[in-house]
Amino acid sequence: MGANNETVWGWHVPPANGTSQKSPLAFLIHGGPQSSWYDAWGYRWNFQSYSAQGYAVIAINFHGSDSYGQNFTDS
């Protein structure tokens, strides 16, 4: 939940090794303020690269992120 108990969206990518053991977490925060994580390959913050190294990845599109309407961006 985000501010004011509003829903926020993001990505979770489990470690590629499929382990059920505890894994290190990479919590990625995008720049901005008006930017967002999206479903595309990127050379800079690539979720799959972290996952391949055994990390679980969390990347949240927090309030102010774009792509969810102007009200969300302005919030």
Q: Which range of residues forms the domain containing residue 59?
A: 3-74
Residue 36, pLDDT > 70, answer no
Q: How many domains are contained in the chain?
A: 1
Residue 41 backbone dihedrals phi, psi, to 5 degrees: -75, 140
Among 57, 7, 54, CA closest to 29: 57
Nearest alpha-carbon partner for 35 in 62, 57, 66: 66
> Is the per-residue pLDDT at 5 higher than 70?
yes
Contact (Cβ atoms closer than 8 angstroms) between residue 61 and residue 35: no
Q: Looking at residue 55, what is its pLDDT? A: 94
Give the pLDDT band of residue 54 (cuts 50, 70, 90).
very high
Q: Is the pLDDT assigned to residue 43 strictly greater than 60? A: yes
- What is the rounded average pLDDT of the residues 56-73? 71
